[in-house]
Chain A
Amino acid sequence: MANALVRGCLISASLAWALSAQAAGGSFVVPGSKAASEKSCVEPTAFMRRNHMEVIEHQRDETVHSGIRATKHSLAGCIQCHVSRDSNGTPIPVDRPDQFCGACHRYMAVRPDCFGCHATVPTSAALPRQPQGETN
């Protein structure tokens, strides 16, 4: 009983902290990424924090089954914008624990299933006619 009480308190305290951190509007984009220079994400930041997985999942079906790739909700677009680069200009994988996807997901203890298959840095190799900046 006492244990449950302590656990409950701890959970609510950490939840409150997490929520207040969000409410404070702290920015979590990685410095040096394109995203850092943008005013907001493709949707309002608060919306994206909560719903990015829904948005990406919806887009993924459109892309895989219908071949629609030009929308703003593509995972490749996320990576393109949120990836940061080291001093040599080499992109750093977004799922590293100190990077945009990795940091938050580690904090929330949620393992994203994306990067088992998807590239964690933008690669446009082998498609020379594709203009730079274009995403898949």
Chain B
Amino acid sequence: MKMKDKVQPDRRAFLSTAAMTATALAAGVVLRTVAQAEPRSEAADDSVRYGMLIDTNRCAEGCDACVQACNRENGLDLQEKPEGAEDGKWALQKAQWIRKVQVQDNLTGKRTNLPLMCQHCEHPPCVDVCPTGASFKRADGIVLVDRHICIGCRYCMMACPYKARSFIHQVVEKKLTQTPRGKGCVESCNLCVHRRDNGIESTACADACAAEGHQAILFGDLKDPNSPLVKALERIASRQLREDLALNTGVRYAGV
């Protein structure tokens, strides 16, 4: 199979690709996109690790701006309920990347609101169990699914400790260029990977949360000591969900 050779390009492969691209540009070959911004032609590398801090103290009850924004950004709102599907079941069958959850402490009764999505683990169980390697972790820490080799076995969904993944149960008519989607494959939050590759420094959910004035979601580079994310993590006590599994998640929660 062809996909094997380029799954994790080494530095040389990356350089040669970059060089080829540069040559192509210089030669003035017909190219719609004159890529001024570097990110589009650079391979993701492990000098960064993308992650988020979710400050649940700022997350408002009843607000689902992040969910709505995610749905719009990734075309999840374009999913149509198949004719004849039951409402209740369909709500559990359609793809959703972020879910709002409210939990109450059994002892103190304190209520906490938070968005729950793929935690982008350093050691993702979904990647371990995937028989074909379709579920994988990019060099920059983003966990995502290569739909081209996903066979739809759903073992990753069995293995995910956060129930973050969705199986596409229906034929998908409408989809966005930036988020391909089709029946029979699994998908989940990809930290707006198209934004990463286009050099946009935020996610749809973080933007929406900020626009609401809550700023509960902070996105950034966990490896950059000067990033607002790392600064915030230094300042505020936070933790990982299911810390017992030692997955070293990329998404951290404060106040849970």
Direct A–B contact in complex, judged by CB atoms less than 8 Å apart: yes
Binding site for B on A (CB under 8 A): 34, 38-42, 54, 57-58, 60-72, 76-77, 79-81, 116-119, 122-127, 129-130, 133-136
Q: Is the beta-carbon distance between A135 and B177 smaller than 8 angstroms? A: yes
- Quick one: which of A41, A79, A81, A135 has the most chain B CB within 10 A? A135
Question: In the complex the two chains form, what is the Cα distance from A119 to B177 in whole Å?
Answer: 5
Q: Are the C-beta atoms of B40 and A68 separated by less than 8 Å?
A: yes
Query: Which chain A residues lie closer than 8 Å to B35 at the CB level?
Result: 70
Is B128 in contact with chain A by the CB < 8 A criterion?
no
Q: Which of chain B's residues have a CB closer than 8 A to the CB of A125?
A: 72, 75, 176
A77 to chain B, nearest CB (A): 6
**Interface pair A67/B29, CB less than 8 Å apart:** no
Contact yes or no, A135 B32, CB < 8 A: yes
Q: Which 6 A-B pairs have the closest CB atoms?
A: A117-B182, A70-B40, A70-B41, A70-B35, A66-B43, A116-B182
- A40–B30 touching, CB < 8 Å: yes
Q: Tell whether B172 is near chain A: CB-to-CB under 8 Å.
A: yes
Residue of A61, A63, A117, A119 with most partner-chain B CB within 10 A? A117
Is B90 located at the chain interface by the 8 A CB criterion? Answer: no
Q: Is the CB of A118 within 8 A of B175?
A: yes
Given A68-B40, A125-B176, are A42 and B31 also a contact pair (CB < 8 Å)?
yes
Complex Cα distance A42/B177, Å?
Answer: 20
Q: How far is the CB of A114 from chain B (nearest CB, A)?
A: 9
Using Cβ atoms and an 8 Å threshold, which residues of chain B touch A124? 177-178
